[in-house]
Structure 1
Amino acid sequence: MDEQTLVILAIQLTALTGIVGSLLLYLLCKVRTKSHTYDTDFTSLNVGTGRSVLLTSCDTGFGLQLALHLSSLGFRVFAGFKPSVEDGEGETCSDSDAAKILRAHLKQRESELIADGMVKGLTYGTMITLPLDVTREDSLHEAVNIVRRHLPAGEDGLWAVMNTAGVCYKGRLDQQDSCQWDAMLKVNVVGTLRTARAFLALLRNKQGRLINIGTGSGEGEGAAGLVAYSAARQAVAGAAAALRVELGPLGVRVITLDTDIPASERLFLRPRLPPSDNGSTERYLKCSVQAVSTHSLSVVEEALLSPTPKPAYSLAPPGGFSNYVSAITERFVSGQCKKRS
């Protein structure tokens, strides 16, 4: 066998070894994720005795998807809905399209549970809806009172508060109204700070987690038409970094969920109902609430359940094969370190 053939065979063998190694790392990562990513109490979440999580807004597809997903894991979910201006003092959150969509899905889930839950062992967490506007102090204070009233006896804390409230107005800087900038700063930035202040006591009591939506996955990322939105999200990321230092001694973890800037505008879109001549439940069930991928949901789970959560997570999938291998290698090595400790 000549020297050139040996070199070619060596290259092919090296490439094959790399592929096999990557596949093994992927399989090991999947095993580690299921076995060690979450804390030892994770099994209790699957029998309906989960921890309490507040979602500040379920008016969007992202909020609705998270509410349904987390309750399916056994969390007690407090789902915030922005009350309409017309409601006045008797404001409720039950008449919005998003609330009706949530109720329709919960009703369908309850029917499935009654039908074959005993056979399959299905169980879900509790869902409590409440009016919540992160831009209003009175609404936040009332939400705190509602949460306290619905916590189990002897419990006075939240496992996590997720700032899912947000707005994104796309448009070129020279063509956008200043009122749209004000709205994005008011909801995305000031609303985040007000939420942290209002629920700090409940988080401190449980040594819980404050989770915010941050910037793009890459440092310095931006996109045309999202200048003001990007500025607001950078402000949230900066505030989260400072809060992490300030609240760390109190036992409160501050976590940022980063996503691609162009994709992030989809997070805050309200669900669109299909046209219908009546208000049947079927219409609300047909409305899609799939705002993020399964990968993104697994990232949220890790941020909520990991005993040692990272300061920031990316909701976006790895961009290429090398990045993917790096990501699963990092998670595998992290799992091995936790096992040794």
Structure 2
Amino acid sequence: MRDCAIVRLPKFFTQGKAVFITGCDSGFGFALAKYLHKLGFTVFAGCLLKESGGDGAAALEGLHSDRMKVVQLDVCSEEQVTRAAEFVRENLEDPERGLWALVNNAGVSAFGEVEFTSMETYKRVSEVNLWGTVRVTKALLPLVRRAEGRVVNMAGMFGRMGHGQRSADCVSQHAVEGFSDCLRHEMKPWRVAVIVVEPGNFSAAAGILTRDAVAAAADRLWAEAPAGVQEDYGKAHFERRVASVRAHCGGGERDVAPVISAVADAVRSRHPFTRYNPMETHWWIRMQVMTHLPAAVSDWLYF
């Protein structure tokens, strides 16, 4: 579960190895970029807000290290992904040795019951979480193959189980899991490992879905819902559901360390796990129940 990475041995040497990480403006990506740099990796840190003066990009550039290379990257932009991949090729210490690891970390989140969630929201979440992962992977996979390295994809516990009000997240994360499984099978002959990291509730630690964001989104969800949906569900029901999301945001882990430890192990271990589950014990048990027992049992326990 959450501490699996602590006992993993042996590790690869980090000297001369390079890692590309997406979503390094804040949260997991920012912390991971600093941690892997500290371990000795050359880090290519993809930041959405580099060109607009983002604090995360500025802090990473402020390390003034030849091994920390901050790259402008919107994973939804074919042009920026292509440009970033070319930057990596041109700045690798030894391009013939390739890129040791790609960590697809960039992600967004949304909430709302299906009838309150717009098609635009479904598309926006999947464009980042799913198609961003596919787009960046395709651009950098030749370099990872050359290194016989690994691809680490961040999904989440909602990639393994459904959850009310989180269908947009579940759709994208389930798809990332499926993409990762297919890629793992394809990459086995190339000796490239493909790993999925499935964090639990780290909303408070990573700021993925804050209470303020929930409040703002809730007003929009209600205002944009069709009159018939508003009438059938009722404002009282809607507010109860929003309150449950706010509680979720305020709970969970408050330290990103378990996730950083899991990803670092996935990058460094000679024999990484296929999946890492840094999450609280009750979420891990729930995930096992919902993925291994008949649906009638898990529905009775949790819904």
TM-score, normalized by the shorter chain, greater than 0.5: yes
For the pair 1:179 / 2:120, whether they are aligned, the reply is: yes
Per the alignment, residue 37 of structure 1 pairs with 9
**Aligned counterpart, 1:245:** 185
1:72 corresponds in structure 2 to 38
CA distance in 2, matches of 1:186, 1:157: 27
Query: What amino acid is the match of 1:72?
Result: K
TM-superposition CA deviations, 1:12-40 (whole Å, max 9, x none): xxxxxxxxxxxxxx9xx99x82xx6133x
Please say if 1:269 is aligned against 2:227: no
**Identical counterparts, % of pairs:** 32
Deviation of the 1:218 alpha carbon: 9.0
Q: Computing the radius of gyration over CA atoms, which structure comes out larger, 1 or 2?
A: 1
Does the 8 Å CA contact 1:61/1:270 hold for their aligned counterparts?
no
Contact 1:94 1:100 in 2 (8 A): no
Which residue is equivalent to 2:53? 95
- 2:259 maps to what in 1? 296
User: Are 1:200 and 2:141 counterparts?
Assistant: yes
Q: How does 1:11-160 map to 2 (within 5 A)?
A: 33=7, 37-39=9-11, 41-42=12-13, 45=14, 49-82=15-48, 93=51, 95-104=53-62, 106=63, 126-153=67-94, 155-160=96-101
Verify the 8 A CA contact 1:166 1:268 in the aligned structure 2: no
In 2, the alpha carbon distance for the partners of 1:94 and 1:150 equals 23
1 CA distance for matches of 2:141 and 2:159?
A: 30
1:212 to 138, 141, 153: 153
Mapped partners of 2:72, 2:270: distance in 1: 31
Contact 1:58 1:67 in 2 (8 A): yes
TM-score computed with the length of structure 1 as normaliser: 0.63
Q: Which amino acid aligns with 1:78?
A: F
Displacement of 1:156: 4.3
Distance 1:219 1:145, change over 3 A: closer
C-alpha RMSD of matched pairs (Å): 3.1
C-alpha distance 157-232 of structure 1, shift in aligned 2 (>3 A): same
Paired position in structure 2 for 1:333: none
SS of corresponding position for 1:169: coil
* C-alpha contact (below 8 Å) 1:168/1:268 kept by paired residues: no
Aligned residues of 1:54 and 1:79 also touching (Cα < 8 A): yes
1:223 is displaced (CA, Å) by 3.1
TM-score (norm 2): 0.70
CA-to-aligned-CA distance 1:165-200 (integer Å, 9 cap, x gap): 111122232222221111111111111111111111
After superposition, give the CA deviation of every residue in 1:55-105 in whole Å (9 maximum; x if it has no partner).
01212321111111111111110000125xxxxxxxx5361222123345x
Instruction: Quote the Cα distance in structure 2 between the aligned partners of 1:218 and 1:56.
Output: 19
Give the C-alpha shift of residue 293 in structure 1. Answer: 3.2
